[in-house]
């Protein structure tokens, strides 16, 4: 009883997560102690500093390949790469979140419970800052994602899933404009997310019943040994996959995506599209590559069908959208499909190409949402597609930037969209998944049309009375936009360095 055996903990390897959790707690204290007017001034540098410090530790640990904290956490190539990616994407998204100069009052409501148009609400619109709680919440979410991609057993993964999901539910509800839409989105996201978590948890239970363990190495042993009931294994894996595919927004678990992307404040949407997707696919990679590679032949056809369905649903429904944020949401769904194609290669190239795709897509999507925050009129963002008609005449620079980003989404060569699609399709081809590649190529052709439609609309229509103006971005949004566009271009023209990095980061520890 007295000689309790404590697990060895490598604090340096855990430092990025610890730092972010610490910063988030500090952020809560700032909320409590600092006067309202100065909170933003403290929170933004605090958050950025924390992320940079975490990134420094991730880079310092770049060579580490080990398990720590009693096998609960694996610090290996993919984990470190994904942590780095989440942090960097988080920095860019945080810049967008920190932007306050676009409209007085900012994109966040001070108190979601305030009725629209009440005295307090108008005073916020008149210039009082919005909720600064967004910053600690974002920090908690990012810290949870870092843990999510490094979790080496299913329970840690579940805890991390909840840690990053709960702040996101709250963040979704914070939009100041179109508040009811935002709250509806948050409620939907919360309810469906809770279901998904329940599925995930039930999956853990069944897998535990099958393997008698929750760490991926033991599960892998059990799967390769082939003992135990197949029913438990497949049911458990299916339920686990549902939980993860929900977060990844794969069809048919995608139904929340358009509503939530549309309702959430746009900077938060960009955070979800970039970071949550990265985290979800990071975890999916780990589950499939570390825990269940022995069952590849069993799950590949099913998840393959899901991938094709996802690509099809995303591409076909994107064509019918009339709202810019919903269109980007469906494109995000379709991209989840392409990512699944890379995942299902089940080869080292599959891992590295998926990692590359996540980074490339993340930067592009943040930049795209940054443009969305700029196109606005007196009622906030003008997201209806018809309002974007003629934007090319009104503001050629931003229309040009957005065109470039859409071309990247469409996978046109010399943008990151092409290199990343090429990488995942190449990996899947190498993994013998020709059917997925064919479906991917065909749907990416389909998917080019909604983007081209927007491009045509922006450039070839005359600006009407209702064409909104494009606000001059503040320093933060400009920075986010420039970073996003530059990375999109750079990864399209010179993908070599990052591809090398992903190749070197492709080894899981088991």
Partner 1 sequence: MSLSAYVPIIALFALAAAFALFSVGVSQIVGPKRYNRAKLEAYECGIEPSPQPVGGGRFPIKFYLTAMLFIIFDIEIIFLYPWAVTFDALGLFGFVEMILFITTVFIAYAYVWRRGGLEWD
Partner 2 sequence: MSALLVVVLALPAAGAMVAALLPGERAGRVAGTVAAALAFVASLLLWFDRSAGGTGVIRPWHEVDVAWAPALDLRFHLGVDGISYPLVVLTTLLTLLCCAYTVGHVPAGGRGSALVALLLVVEVGMLGTFLALDLVLFFVFFEVVLLPMYAVIAGWGGAGRRAAARKFALYTLFGSVLLLVGVFTVVASAGTADIVALTGGAALPRGTQHAAFALFAVAFAVKSPLWPLHTWLPAAHTQAPTVGSVILAGVLLKMGTYGLIRVAVGVAPEGARWAAPVLGTLAVAAIIVGALVCLAQSEIKRLIAYSSVGHMGFVLLGVATLTATGIQAALIGNVAHGILTGLLFFLAGAVKDRFGTGDLAALGGLRERMPGLSGLLGYAAIGSLGLPGLAGFWGEAFAVIAAVRRGGPLWLTLGVIAAVGGALTAAYFLRLLRRVTHGPASPVVAGAVCGPIARLEVAAWSPLVVLALAVGLVPALVLGMASEPVRAVAEWVAR
Q: What whole-number distance in Å separates Cα of residue 305 and Cα of residue 250? A: 11
Element (H, E) at 422: helix 416-430
The residue assigned the tokens 């535990």 is 208
Helical ranges in 272-323 per DSSP H = 277-286, 296-319
Q: Helix or strand or coil: residue 84?
A: helix
Q: Which of 140, 169, 210, 363 binds partner 1 (CB under 8 A)?
A: 210
By the rule CB under 8 A, 422 interacts with partner 2: yes
By the rule CB under 8 A, 405 interacts with partner 2: no
414, 285 Cβ separation under 8 angstroms:
no
The residue assigned the tokens 């100041």 is 176
By the rule CB under 8 A, 14 interacts with partner 2: no
Q: Which of 165, 269, 352, 364 binds partner 2 (CB under 8 A)?
A: 352
CA 43 to chain centroid: 22
Q: Which of 228, 293, 294, 426 binds partner 1 (CB under 8 A)?
A: 228
Alpha carbon dihedral 39, 44, 46, 47, in 10-degree steps, equals 130
Q: Which of 128, 208, 209, 438 binds partner 1 (CB under 8 A)?
A: 209
Instruction: Give whichever of 2 and 297 is closer to partner 1, judged by the CB atom.
Output: 2
Q: Which of 29, 60, 191, 472 binds partner 1 (CB under 8 A)?
A: 29
Q: Segment near partner 2 (CB under 8 A), from 257-265, 293-301, 360-368, 405-413?
A: 405-413
- One character per residue 90-119, x = contact with partner 1 (rule: CB under 8 A): -----------------------x------
Identify whether 119 is preceded by a cis peptide bond (ω within 30 of 0): no
Angle subtended by helix axes 324-343 and 296-319, to nearest 10: 160
Instruction: Give whichever of 30 and 448 is closer to partner 1, judged by the CB atom.
Output: 30
By the rule CB under 8 A, 212 interacts with partner 1: yes
495, 356 Cβ separation under 8 angstroms:
yes
Instruction: Give whichever of 125 and 205 is closer to partner 1, judged by the CB atom.
Output: 205
By the rule CB under 8 A, 293 interacts with partner 1: no
The entry of partner 2, partner 1, none near residue 32 (CB within 5 to 8 angstroms by kind) is: partner 1
Handedness of CA 444, 449, 450, 452 (dihedral sign): positive
Shortest distance (Å) from residue 212 CB to partner 1: 8
By the rule CB under 8 A, 37 interacts with partner 1: no
In DSSP notation, 140-200 reads HHHHHHHHHHHB-BHHHHHHHHHHHHHHHHHHHTTBSSSHHHHHHHHHHHHHHHHHHHHHH
The entry of partner 2, partner 1, none near residue 224 (CB within 5 to 8 angstroms by kind) is: none
CA 163 to chain centroid: 15
Q: Segment near partner 2 (CB under 8 A), from 92-100, 189-197, 335-343, 426-434?
A: 426-434
96, 478 Cβ separation under 8 angstroms:
no
Q: Which of 8, 52, 441, 475 binds partner 2 (CB under 8 A)?
A: 441
The entry of partner 2, partner 1, none near residue 123 (CB within 5 to 8 angstroms by kind) is: none
Question: Interface residues with partner 2 (CB under 8 A)?
Answer: 352, 407, 412-414, 418-419, 422-423, 425-426, 429-430, 437-438, 441-442, 444-445, 448, 452, 456, 459-460, 494-496, 499-500, 502-503
Question: Interface residues with partner 1 (CB under 8 A)?
Answer: 1-2, 4, 6, 25, 28-29, 31-33, 113, 209-210, 212, 227-229, 231
């Amino acid at each position: 009883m007295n000689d309790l055996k404590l697990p060895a903990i490598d604090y340096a390897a855990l430092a990025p997560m610890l730092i972010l959790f610490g910063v988030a707690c500090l952020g809560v204290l700032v909320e409590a102690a600092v006067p309202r007017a100065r909170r933003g001034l403290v929170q933004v540098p605090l958050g950025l500093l924390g992320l940079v410090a975490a990134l420094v530790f991730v880079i310092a640990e770049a060579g580490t390949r080990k398990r720590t904290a009693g096998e609960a956490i694996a610090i290996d190539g993919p984990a470190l790469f994904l942590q780095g990616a989440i942090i960097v994407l988080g920095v860019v998204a945080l810049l967008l979140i920190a932007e306050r100069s676009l409209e007085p009052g900012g994109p966040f409501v001070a108190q979601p419970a305030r009725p629209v148009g009440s005295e307090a609400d108008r005073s916020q619109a008149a210039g009082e800052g919005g909720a600064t709680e967004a910053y600690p919440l974002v920090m908690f979410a990012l810290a949870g994602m870092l843990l999510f991609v490094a979790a080496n057993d299913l329970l840690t993964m579940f805890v991390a899933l909840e840690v990053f999901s709960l702040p996101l539910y709250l963040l979704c509800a914070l939009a100041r404009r179109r508040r009811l839409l935002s709250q509806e989105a948050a409620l939907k996201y919360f309810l469906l997310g809770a279901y998904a978590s329940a599925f995930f948890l039930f999956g853990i239970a069944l897998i535990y019943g099958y393997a008698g363990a929750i760490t991926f190495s033991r599960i892998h042993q059990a799967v390769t040994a082939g003992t135990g009931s197949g029913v438990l294994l497949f049911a458990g894996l299916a339920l686990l996959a549902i939980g993860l595919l929900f977060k990844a927004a794969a069809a048919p678990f995608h139904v929340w995506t358009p509503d939530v992307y549309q309702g959430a404040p746009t900077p938060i949407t960009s955070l979800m599209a970039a970071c949550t997707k990265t985290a979800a696919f990071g975890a999916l990679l780990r589950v499939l590559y570390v825990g269940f590679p022995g069952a590849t032949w069993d799950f590949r056809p099913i998840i393959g069908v899901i991938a094709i369905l996802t690509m099809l649903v995303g591409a076909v429904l994107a064509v019918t959208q009339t709202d810019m944020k919903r269109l980007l949401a469906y494109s995000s769904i379709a991209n989840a499909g392409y990512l699944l194609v890379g995942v299902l290669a089940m080869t080292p190239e599959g891992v590295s190409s998926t990692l590359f795709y996540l980074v490339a897509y993340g930067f592009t999507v943040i930049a795209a949402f940054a443009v969305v925050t700029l196109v606005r009129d007196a009622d906030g963002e003008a997201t209806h597609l018809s309002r974007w008609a003629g934007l090319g005449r009104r503001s050629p620079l931003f229309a040009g930037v957005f065109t470039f980003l859409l071309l990247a989404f469409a996978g046109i060569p010399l943008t990151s969209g092409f290199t990343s699609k090429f990488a995942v399709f190449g990996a899947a081809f190498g993994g013998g998944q020709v059917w997925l590649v064919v479906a991917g190529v065909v749907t990416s052709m389909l998917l080019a049309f909604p983007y081209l439609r927007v491009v045509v609309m922006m450039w070839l229509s005359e600006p009407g009375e209702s064409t909104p103006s494009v606000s001059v971005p503040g320093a933060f949004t400009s920075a986010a936009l420039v970073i996003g566009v530059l990375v999109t271009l750079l990864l399209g023209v010179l993908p070599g360095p990052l591809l090398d990095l992903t190749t070197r980061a492709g080894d899981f520890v088991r």
